[in-house]
Structure 1
Amino acid sequence: MKKYFFTLIFISALGWLSSSRNLFAQSATIAPGYVLIPATASAPTCLVADKGKMYFNTTDNKMYFCNGSTWVDFSSAAFALPYSGSGNSNSDLFTISNSGTGNTGFFENTTATGSVAGLKATSISTSHGIGATGGVSGLLGQVSTTTPGGYSAGVRGINNGTSGTGIGVIGYQGGSGWGVYGETPSGFGVYGLTTNGTAASTGVRGETFSTNGIGVEAKYSGSGVGIALEVDNGAIRVAGVNKAAFVHTATVANKLSANGTDIDNPLCNGDANCLLFITQKLNPSGIVYNNSPVGVYYNTIRAKWEIFNQNNTTIPTNAQFNVLVIKQ
């Protein structure tokens, strides 16, 4: 009796909804475990009064809902591409979790040309941060465990190119900040390694275009006296057009003093504060050697450094000297 009474109330409620709320469910069947939506081979009318109604199309086997003017396919309204969405929340707007061994997400751009990205993330916040773990991030990668395995990485960049072009990770900053920043409490802030045992390769390289800039800077920032630069198991080699270490040859043109020879090099010309270290060198061409004690001084008239014989004897033409310039 109670069962019949409940059914009568439910049917009466459906009838009231159908008449007063324009419910498009006259032929809907509600049963334990499922709801049977009205099915038809063609779309019914979809006007403002029909907004929110649903039906199943038996021709294309898809569900549709009325948006007040057009029937919209549920599959296209859910997560169709291209997809764009927005929200305003203090929590994560989009979260995916994977408890298996596969990737939580995979993005791929299959276009063969153009400067494209597999994944792009941006942020427009102007808030300041402190240290490597703070600050605004366009893209944040994190290994959350405090006991990670070797070579685990918060962000990893891999370039599979085998030629001399291509970069694994690029950092760029549009002003006078840092392109790449690394920080650690007690390890290596930035570490570079080349694994080819014979190639002329470089672990870490720094360059600058500014005449007032520095290619690579090493700085001790602690209190007291510390070490800014350490060279471990290897020599120091100079290269390039303007080398800090070079060979100077005394010629008739640069022997402007009775017992000296002017050094003409852009690294020390006009710089009275630089440090010069010289040693005499036997010139194998003609076996020329300056057999006298030498020194250096800065000639303020010619704005050049000069090597001179301390015993006031003339330096032989074609005598050679090793010179090292250190700027300060």
Structure 2
Amino acid sequence: MRIKYKDNGYILCFLLCFILSYLVLLKSDYFPADFLPYTEIYDGTYGEINNIEPAFLYLTRLFHYLNFPYIFFAMLVCALCLSWKIKYARKIIKDSYIYLFLYVYVSFYVFLHEMTQLRIAIAVTMCYVSVYYYFYKNCIKHALPWMVLAILFHYSALLLFMSLFIYSYRRLLIVIIGFVICMSFLNVYADTIALYLPNEKIVNYLYSISSSLDNRNDLAIFNLNNIIFLSIFILIFYLSRYIKLNDNEAKFIKYVQCSGILAFCIFFLASGVPVIAYRTAELLRIFYPMALVLILSHIKNNNMRYFIAVIIVILSGLMLFITLRAVSIVGQGL
């Protein structure tokens, strides 16, 4: 039986995912951020191992028990996470755009997640699956287990879970007002709340958030990273008004827009604590690559489509430069 061309292209895309995983071999020399902490987690010598999410601990203990080297484990995580994202992206965007999606995602997040922060890489992959079931299959009973599993791999996925319900500007306004009120509340009652939190890492985050309003850096939002994301948000917002989307696609794009606005608001309010501001905004923008390529695939005018594709490639190249620079710095926290 002859395999169709698009199936061949899909297989080639999978092969590219596994080829990209070989970049992990260069990690310790060229982009060493978080390399040492993850090797210590893997062999059980990490000083704060009790603060690591349980699902990731069980996974690393299994591979360590089977005597797999850490580098092999990291390569496998990288390849499988990328492959699963491709698998579910293919259910949402056209096959002819899957390579562009891979390029955009690699430029934005592969060096930050799959190559560096393995827990988040796994959690985000599960969030991609959850979003597919939630927005495209309208099946929360299938979306919920994937999101819960994502949280067990990285607690910050809880933010993505809560954001799934923010797909209208009215809900977004309520969330932003509530967030400001909660931060003011934390500023006053942080000591009391800390008594009921499960581990020291979360307590440290609590105190950082509670003091972020006082230490806010109003100019931090104008860095290159945010300027690029603002440009992408404008592209998504503007183009989505002039293309025809089905109900599920429109709901997903509106969710991406609301998450983008929320990311800017949280970044501004929490800019006094960069690790919180950047991580939160990064997670809320995790579906930008898929939204960009989805919108591009619906543009009918060839000249406009090619023009927007060039803009996307340029913006992605700039993000690749920023992320490579970020992960080349030793000593970034988990």
What TM-score results when the alignment is normalised by the length of structure 1?
0.22
Q: Which has the higher contact order (CA 8 A, sep 6+)?
A: 2
- From the two aligned structures, give the one with the greater helix fraction: 2
